[in-house]
Amino acid sequence: MQQQVLSVGQLNEYLKMLMDSNQLLSDVLIRGEISNFTNHYKTGHFYFSLKDENALIRAVMFRSYAQRVEFMPENGMKVIVHGRVSVFPRDGQYQIYVDELLPDGVGALYLAYEQLRRKLEAEGLFDPVRKRPLPPYPQRIGIITSPTGAAVRDMIQILGRRFPVARVILYPALVQGTGAPESLVRGLHAFAAAIPVDLIIIGRGGGSAEDLWAFNNELLARAVAASPVPVISAVGHETDVTICDFVADLRAPTPSAAAELAVPDVAELKGLLSGIEERMSAAFSTLLTTARSRVAMLSNAGVLRSPRRYLEDRAMAVAFLEKRLEHATATATERARTDFGALAAKLGALNPLHVLSRGYAAAFDDNGSPVTRAEGLSAGQNLHIRFADRTADTVITGVRESE
């Protein structure tokens, strides 16, 4: 069997296909030091090498990704990059195509955070389409947080002030440390299965990244996404963002803000209702005034003040219509008589008997058929001659040419 001979381009394309189909190489995180950095100002692309003490790999970051980097990379900077490894067929060199660039030193926690964030985002758990609107007037609100922190007191106070008709149900949970994610998940399950509520607020007050780490747990994120009722995530301060925030139906910058967003302000509702009441009252007053004016107008109508006069007016109208009908009938009858006389005159002019009265006669054979031509008659044949007044029976004695 003869071995296939490949061109250089075919070989490079084959290597590119192998790398592009490799799952590990299509989604990698690499730590290294930047060298040979070039910011290509015309295109906006970043070109650099990533190296450690033992090796080096070329890297490129296209403008669409580079413009999202919040710092300017420099040679010698320790970074963590995310991207895919592939071959550039023209040069025959493999390189990493970077889509995210982070300064190193953020630690293992941040690396785990990024990996989980990408995983859940790829599954669609952050998709805005799946997020549900909050109920406008929740009657029962579940709060999952620590029962001893300032956050829960602030939330209960704000909810009571803004919408006192809502019942607040607290599920005490651990919000940091070992067992905190499982405790938070149990709270979600309790409100989903045993304690019916219209809305859930889950969160805690501020703290360090380690303090908030329970809210970056995959088990908790999936429980929030699976909640049958809308969930507001309120973790830490405004600058703190957790995986729980991405998955929840709404992210509040603080626990206090979550309480503000969860319910309407009863004072605003009263003002709204008062405005509606005023508009309804004004509309009813206008309607009543219009109805009274109409009643007054009708009460002054002649038919109500003098029914007999109204009936007399109607009788006069009927009498006038009767006269018009009689005149129209007489006119139509006279016109019909005139038309009939003209038609009778026309018919009389066409009457054969009228012609006979002027001295003419008509001949008929024994069958009663008119004889209009002498041709075909013979001597001895009977004919019946019709005059204006009578009919004469005769016998043909002969047929001759007319003079």
What tens digit of pLDDT does each residue of 367-390 get? 888 887 878 788 888 888 888 778
Helix 218-225 to helix 107-122 angle (10° resolution) is: 30
CA count, 13 A, side-chain hemisphere, 280: 6
- Domain span at 101: 8-105
- Record the pTM: 0.51
Q: Is residue 301 part of a domain?
A: no
pLDDT of residue 107: 57
pLDDT of residue 304: 66
Q: Is residue 349 part of a domain?
A: no
Contact criterion met (CB below 8 Å) for 86 and 46: no
Structural domain count, the chain: 3
Best CA proximity match to 152, nearest among 237, 305, 255, 254: 255
pLDDT of residue 353: 65
Q: Is residue 79 part of a domain?
A: yes
Does 152 share its domain with 234?
Answer: yes
Distance CA 61, CA 38 (A): 10
pLDDT of residue 34: 92
DSSP state letters, 291-327: HHHHHHHHHTSHHHH-HHHHHHHHHHHHHHHHHHHHH
Contact criterion met (CB below 8 Å) for 370 and 364: yes
Does 251 share its domain with 152?
Answer: yes
pLDDT of residue 124: 94
The 391-395 sheet, strands edge to edge? 370-371, 362-364, 382-386, 391-395
Read off the pLDDT of residues 93-130 as tens digits, 9 standing for 90 and up: 889 999 998 877 655 577 678 888 989 999 999 999 99
Strands (E), 64-215: 78-88, 93-103, 140-145, 167-172, 199-204
Query: Is the confidence at residue 145, as pLDDT, over 80?
Result: yes
Mean pLDDT score, 4-26: 82
Q: Is residue 3 part of a domain?
A: no
Read off the pLDDT of residues 80-89 as tens digits, 9 standing for 90 and up: 899 999 888 8
pLDDT of residue 224: 97
Q: Is residue 280 part of a domain?
A: no
Read off the pLDDT of residues 48-96 as tens digits, 9 standing for 90 and up: 999 988 899 999 999 999 988 867 888 888 888 999 998 888 888 889 9
Query: Coil, helix or strand for 350?
Result: coil
